[in-house]
Amino acid sequence: MASTKVIVLGDLHLISPDDPDEDRKVRRAHFAQAWPSFRDLVRAIRGEAPDLVVALGDLVDWYSEPNRDFARSLLDGMGAPWAATPGNHDLSFSWEGKPETDDGDGPAPPRSGWAEAGIEMGNRCIDLDDTRLLLMDSATSRVPEATVAWLDETLGDRPRNLLFTHVPLRHDEVASRILAEDPRRNMEKYIQHTDLFGPCLRGRVDAVYTGHLHFPADLTVEGTRMRMLPLSTRSPLKEYRGQGVATVLTLDGQDGWEEREIRARQGS
């Protein structure tokens, strides 16, 4: 059987040059100037001809129609089908990344805006040969009760299950690793509030791919690989560890899979 290739993108924090909020673009210059690096990475991704690209959220630094359309147009340039799971910044009108609620007044809330542009952000699964990919919405760090039922129903009938979500799973070993890398991280924000691993995922998921931290980490917890991916953009103004890469998964048969990183190609 031919192998299947999936490329996973970490946070992007794209900001369109056409977004009208000039003040924010100055305050967030470290991300506003990062998008050309992603355009270069898109060339490398296109060269890989993946079967699917999965983005782990924070496609944009704050939700606006110009930022949404800019992200869509860059991602469409990969020449491959792509799917996204939302990050906190995708659901926020503010660059601080706090998801906003719909008060029935003012601009359309971000969730409707993504849907109107044809970009799905809810829970869903995608089957590729022997592998089931589960895309789970954890943008607010809280996971609703319905998500637990969905996971229970959806997991289990494939040889390999991979979970893709924005915020790292709640588990003591995951929290310890994050704090070992950066002791200032607030565990209220950087791991999920709901314990999904113990009640529902232990022994049923081969690997979990997450973003949100903006640094890479890799550990195995009770048989499940926890991969935390760095930014897939590269900021010319700020050093984020491991930034500017995409992760290529080559899924081959039922036993394991290969993982490697690709970086931007310039001028190709």
Q: Which residues bind Fe ion (CB under 5 A)?
A: 11, 58
Q: Residue 206 and residue 56: Cα distance in Å, rounded?
A: 17
User: Least CB distance from residue 32 to Fe ion, whole Å?
Assistant: 15
Q: Residue 204 and residue 9: Cα distance in Å, rounded?
A: 23
User: Least CB distance from residue 232 to Fe ion, whole Å?
Assistant: 11
User: Least CB distance from residue 68 to Fe ion, whole Å?
Assistant: 16
CB closer to Fe ion, 19 vs 58: 58
CB closer to Fe ion, 131 vs 235: 235
User: Least CB distance from residue 12 to Fe ion, whole Å?
Assistant: 8
- Strands 224-228 and 217-221 turn out to be antiparallel
CB closer to Fe ion, 131 vs 138: 138
Distant-in-sequence, close-in-space partners of 228: CB < 8 Å, separation ≥ 6 = 168, 178, 210, 211, 212, 213, 215, 216, 217, 218
User: Least CB distance from residue 10 to Fe ion, whole Å?
Assistant: 8
Q: Residue 177 and residue 221: Cα distance in Å, rounded?
A: 11
CB closer to Fe ion, 131 vs 137: 137
User: Least CB distance from residue 180 to Fe ion, whole Å?
Assistant: 20
CB closer to Fe ion, 34 vs 251: 34
- Residues 120, 167, 265, CA angle at the centre, nearest 5°? 70
CB closer to Fe ion, 114 vs 257: 114
Burial class (CB in 10 A: 0-12, 13-18, 19+), 125: middle
CB closer to Fe ion, 131 vs 165: 165
Residue 246 phi/psi, 5-degree rounding, is -120, 150
User: Least CB distance from residue 205 to Fe ion, whole Å?
Assistant: 23
